[in-house]
Amino acid sequence: MIENAWVAWLILLLPLAAFVIIGLLGRWLRDGSGYVAVAAMLGSLVLSLYVFVQVLAQGAIGGNFAAQTIAGYVWLPSIPGNEIRISLLIDNLSSLMLVLVSFLCLLIFIYSLGYMHEEEGKPRYYAEVSLFATGMLGTVSADNFLQLLIFWEIMGLCSYLLIGFWYHKPEAAAAAKKAFLVTRVGDVLFLIGVLVIWNEFGTLRFNEIAPRVGLLSPQLLTLIPLLLFGGAVGKSAQFPLHAWLPDAMEGPTTVSALIHAATMVKAGVYLTARSFIFLVPLAPGVQPPFTAILVIAGIGGFTAIFAATMAVVNNDIKRVLAFSTISQLAYMFLGLGAGAYVMATEAVNGEPVNSAGYSAALYHLFNHAFFKALLFLSAGSVIHAVHTNDMREMGGLSKSMPITSRVMLFGSLALAGIIPFSGFFSKGEVLSVTFDAGADHPGFYLLYVLGLFTAFLTAFYAFRLWFMTFHGEYRGHEHLHESPRVMTTPLLILAGFTLISGLLAYPMQGFGNLVFFGRPEAGFPLVGIPPVHYLLEALSLGVAGLGIGLAWSIYETKRIPAERFTRAPGGAFIHRMLTKRYWIDDAYDAFGRTVVYGLAHGLDWFDRTVIDGIVNAVARGGMRVAVESDVFDRRVIDGAVNALSLETVRTSWRLRQRQTGQVQNYAWVVVVGIVAVVVLLFGFSFLQRFLAGR
């Protein structure tokens, strides 16, 4: 049991409090808002370490720590035992991720104090990154899929807001929209997956689902991980939903480093790791969903080389790194897929499962978070000095920016996978596992070759970037200066981690001994492995060296002119295809223009002709009725009224004529009246007598 487990809530709530405080009081805090965010993040880091140290002390290494749920409150009440709670899950993976995320957030927040110094809208920036930190910390500590989805979406929102931080730039606004919409495709799949899980199990908690996976039908067992993987594809920018990440580089570089390299895009890998309960059901007699595993590994292997080729031709320093991020994330998916395949095969055969691929992918996640954050922040430092993203206007910066130049060299070596930098260990393990999986399914040999070629391309573009930026002659026109201490210090810390984060596996007897699925495995990196693995490690080191050598001869010594590759028609075509990003963005745009706009046009036409027609016809009918009733009103009703009044006037006029005012006229009338009465009386009595007489 973890002591003072409630402090884990503060890990999430401190950045949330920073968000609220900065959001409400940012106008008065101004520059102080950055310090509020840093202080909150420092608190989160300390508490995360406190939790992590307890987890370690209670035997996480070696698998003696039982996952622990820190019960929160009931969010959606239901029948007892079935309600949806907001709770935190503390196990090996989540406690490690909490430390990783809060540490990187802290370093990047500190760096932001320098990088964002001259920006307008700093309170907005710090409020949004604090909210983002809450989202990421919540994602990795969620106890159930729904809670994970909620924090996942908070991250998506913050990603949108921060990509569009310079919203007055049309490209940034468009990139923000693109990121939001493209990831939305994946998020919808994820949501469907969550609903299917709820429908099948009546619970969303990882720990309650895991023992009951065997009850699923094989179709659903394949469908659920694929739906969850759909969410991961969107969030981690894998093919075919990769298009948003390069454009997301329109945001501030700190945002790119934090959200689009170190943390948020890793959430997809984390989700796929959590969905191992479906991929590798440890209950006996359950057929694992091999199809879903192959899809995951295949998309990983393909995206790795696909993104790496595009990184080779790009001239935007941040976009090269963005493509590199996609490619490295794809390595993690490849590792997860290959690892799951190996484990699933072993589980079916009744052998003890070996979670090497699972831990290799998470190992790469861990290492990549450090070196890619370092690369992005160094790129930010460069951009801070030269005020452009275009590498063709850089060059020779190592003289004026020695610290940045050196730390970026560290990052590039880690990315390329050169021993003893961190990338070497984890990338080598991912490739080894993929090779091992080839024994179970020959397709993995193809994926291994793709991965190996990607390693070559990775080393090439990493050093192409480094040589173009820091070597040769300066091609721009800015006054160059090294970045302030507040920026270089986080860089130096991260550079240190590119060296030691790989070696951190040694004190825990292999990363797989800390983060594992099913069964812990003790085993030092590079120690006691099968001989073929030494060969594989040497091979990946060799291709990385080859890539660096090629970059050296093209961009440093210029012994091989770069034009040679684009002169031949075939080469020119490939170059064009790569710079156009395989026309996929264009195809998506065209899809949007033709299909979506076409649909919209069709609906518009329908609206204008049919709906408007009906409405107008009704209106015209109404008008006609009104006109008719007006005529009726005027002619008949008014006619009757007028005729009546006219007749009254006429009659009164005629009667008036009788009132002459001459007394003698009146006298005449009186006399005539009397005579008439007399005549009538006499006539009447005469008539009576006459009738009686008969």
Partner 1 sequence: MEYELLLSGALLCIGLYGVLARRNGIIVLMSIEIILNASILNFVAFSSYSGNPSGQIFALLGIAVAAAEAAVGLAVFLSIYQTHGSIELDKIRFLKW
Complex with partner 1: residue 24 or 676, whichever CB lies closer: 676
Buried b (16+ CB within 10 A) or exposed e, 282-321: beeebebbbebbbbbbbbbbbbbbbbbbbbbbbbbbbbbb
According to the binding rule CB under 8 A, does residue 217 interact with partner 1?
Answer: no
Closest separation in Å from C-beta 641 to partner 1: 26
Residue 662 as a binder of partner 1 (CB under 8 A): the answer is yes
- 654 near partner 1, rule: CB under 8 A: no
By the rule CB under 8 A, 664 interacts with partner 1: yes
Q: Which is nearer to partner 1, 661 or 693 (CB)?
A: 661
By CB under 8 A, how many residues form the interface with partner 1?
A: 10
Q: Residue with structure tokens 């003893």?
A: 420
Which token pair is 45? Answer: 């880091």
CA atoms of 334 and 338, how far apart (whole Å): 6
CB 626, min distance to partner 1, A: 44
Per rule CB under 8 A, is residue 219 in the interface with partner 1? no
Q: Is 527 or 663 the residue whose CB approaches partner 1 more closely?
A: 663
Which letter, b or e, does each residue of 602-629 get, where b requires 16 or more Cβ atoms within 10 Å of its Cβ?
A: eeeeeeeeeeeeeeeeeeeeeeeeeeee
Q: Which is nearer to partner 1, 538 or 672 (CB)?
A: 672
CB 155 within 8 A of CB 267: yes
| 659 binds partner 1 per the rule CB under 8 A | yes
Interaction of residue 660 with partner 1, rule CB under 8 A: yes
What is the spatial distance between Cα 200 and Cα 204, in angstroms, rounded to a whole number? 10
CB of 628 to partner 1, least distance (A): 44
How far apart are CB 685 and partner 1 at their closest, in Å?
20
**Applying CB under 8 A, does 661 fall inside the site for partner 1?**
yes
- Which CB, 559 or 656, lies closer to partner 1? 656
Contacts of 354 (CB under 8 A, 6+ apart): 342, 343, 346, 519, 521
3-state percent breakdown (helix, strand, coil) of the chain, nearest 5: 75, 5, 20
Q: Considering only 326-334, 607-615, 625-633, 663-671, which stretch makes contact with partner 1 by CB under 8 A?
A: 663-671
Contact flag: residue 199 with partner 1 (CB under 8 A): no
| Only segment of 322-330, 337-345, 431-439, 667-675 that touches partner 1 (CB under 8 A) | 667-675
- Among the listed ranges 206-214, 298-306, 564-572, 659-667, the one in contact with partner 1 (CB under 8 A) is 659-667
The residue (of 594 and 660) whose beta carbon lies closer to partner 1 is: 660
Q: Are 443 and 298 in contact (CB under 8 A)?
A: yes
For residue 620, the minimal CB distance to partner 1 (Å) is 54
Q: Binder to partner 1 among 168, 479, 656, 694 (CB under 8 A)?
A: 656
Give the span between the Cα atoms of 359 and 273, in whole angstroms.
9
On whether the CB atoms of residues 383 and 430 are closer than 8 A, the answer is no
Least distance from partner 1 to the Cβ atom of residue 689, Å? 23
From 79, 663, 691, 692, residue interacting with partner 1 (rule: CB under 8 A):
663
Complex with partner 1: residue 287 or 665, whichever CB lies closer: 665
Separation of alpha carbons 299 and 333, rounded Å = 8
- Ramachandran sector of residue 484 (left: φ over 0; alpha: ψ -120 to 50; beta: rest): beta
Nearer to partner 1, 616 or 660 (CB): 660
CB of 643 to partner 1, least distance (A): 24
Q: How far is the CB of 622 from partner 1 (least distance, A)?
A: 50
- The residue (of 349 and 659) whose beta carbon lies closer to partner 1 is 659
Q: Omega into 289 within 30° of 0, i.e. cis? A: no
Q: Would you give the DSSP letter of residue 76?
A: E
3-class secondary structure, 86: strand
Q: Which of 534, 668, 682, 686 binds partner 1 (CB under 8 A)?
A: 668
Q: How many CB atoms lie within 10 A of CB 434?
A: 32
The one segment of 176-184, 546-554, 664-672, 682-690 that binds partner 1 by CB under 8 A: 664-672
CA-based end-to-end distance of the chain? 138
- Distance between CA atoms of residues 44 and 40, nearest Å: 6
**Residue 105, number of CB atoms within 10 A of its CB:** 28
Instruction: Quote the least distance from Cβ 642 to partner 1, whole Å.
Output: 24
Q: Which is nearer to partner 1, 590 or 670 (CB)?
A: 670
Distant-in-sequence, close-in-space partners of 41: CB < 8 Å, separation ≥ 6: 14, 15, 18, 102, 105, 106, 109, 130, 133
Which among 216-224, 316-324, 403-411, 657-665 is the span making contact with partner 1, rule CB under 8 A?
657-665
Stretch that binds partner 1, among 133-141, 534-542, 602-610, 661-669 (CB under 8 A): 661-669
Tracing tokens 């079916």 back to the chain, one arrives at 348
Q: How far is the CB of 659 from partner 1 (least distance, A)?
A: 6
- Residue type at 444 in one-letter notation: F
Q: Which of 522, 596, 671, 678 binds partner 1 (CB under 8 A)?
A: 671
DSSP string, 259-289: IIIISTTHHHHHHHHHTHHHHS--STTPPP-
Residues that bind partner 1 in the complex, under the rule CB under 8 A:
656, 659-664, 667-668, 671
